């Protein structure tokens, strides 16, 4: 029964993202090349890496900005797609901004600009990282937060 139960259990995908905050309070955002949406840099956590390291790798790959992960600020589950995202507040420590195959545009946004340019499910990830009372655990449908 163990193998059968395991085979029938749906699997989750784990992603990581960096909520990169500069000293002036602006936050790093990318406009994705595939769908044109503004989000924070992130992607699939690789099997052989720690979550914080994965967030730093994804930020570097997608933006050219080198970061240091400071702390976990939130766990966000897309209920429609089974994706669990771990978001880490990061601080920039080097590198130079550059576009990638996944990134059409890079910007450092104010909190108001984050709210205006991102869907709720992604804006909240950056805004949650500004506070000190996390980590937050939230669920969403890919665009909007869902009640818990």
* Cα dihedral: 86, 92, 93, 97 (round 10): 110
* Helix or strand run (H / E) with residue 92: strand 83-95
pLDDT tens, position by position, 38-75: 999 999 999 999 999 999 999 999 999 999 999 999 99
8 domain residue, yes or no: no
Q: How many domains is the chain built from?
A: 1
9 domain residue, yes or no: no
Evaluate if residue 4 carries a pLDDT over 70: no
Report, as an integer, the average pLDDT of 10-26: 95
d(CA 46, CA 16): 10
Evaluate if residue 2 carries a pLDDT over 60: no
pTM (two decimals): 0.92
Mean pLDDT of the chain: 94
Residue of 137, 133, 125 whose CA lies nearest to 90: 125
1 domain residue, yes or no: no
106 or 2, which is more confident: 106
148 domain residue, yes or no: no
Boundaries of domain holding 72: 15-140
- The CATH number covering residue 123 comes to 3.90.79.10
pLDDT tens, position by position, 110-119: 999 999 999 9
């Amino acid at each position: 029964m163990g193998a059968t139960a395991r085979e029938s259990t749906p699997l989750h995908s784990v992603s990581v993202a960096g909520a990169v905050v500069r000293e002036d309070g602006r936050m790093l955002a990318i406009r994705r090349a595939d769908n044109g949406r503004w989000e924070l840099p992130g992607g699939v956590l690789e099997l052989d890496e720690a979550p914080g390291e994965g967030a730093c790798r994804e930020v570097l790959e997608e933006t050219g900005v080198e970061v240091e992960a400071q702390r976990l600020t939130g766990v966000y589950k897309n209920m429609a797609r089974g994706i669990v995202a771990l978001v880490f507040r990061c601080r920039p420590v080097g590198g130079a901004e550059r576009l990638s195959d996944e990134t059409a545009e890079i910007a450092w946004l104010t909190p108001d600009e984050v709210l205006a340019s991102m869907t709720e499910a992604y804006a909240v990830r950056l805004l949650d990282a500004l506070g000190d009372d996390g980590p937050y655990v939230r669920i969403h449908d890919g665009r909007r937060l869902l009640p818990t």
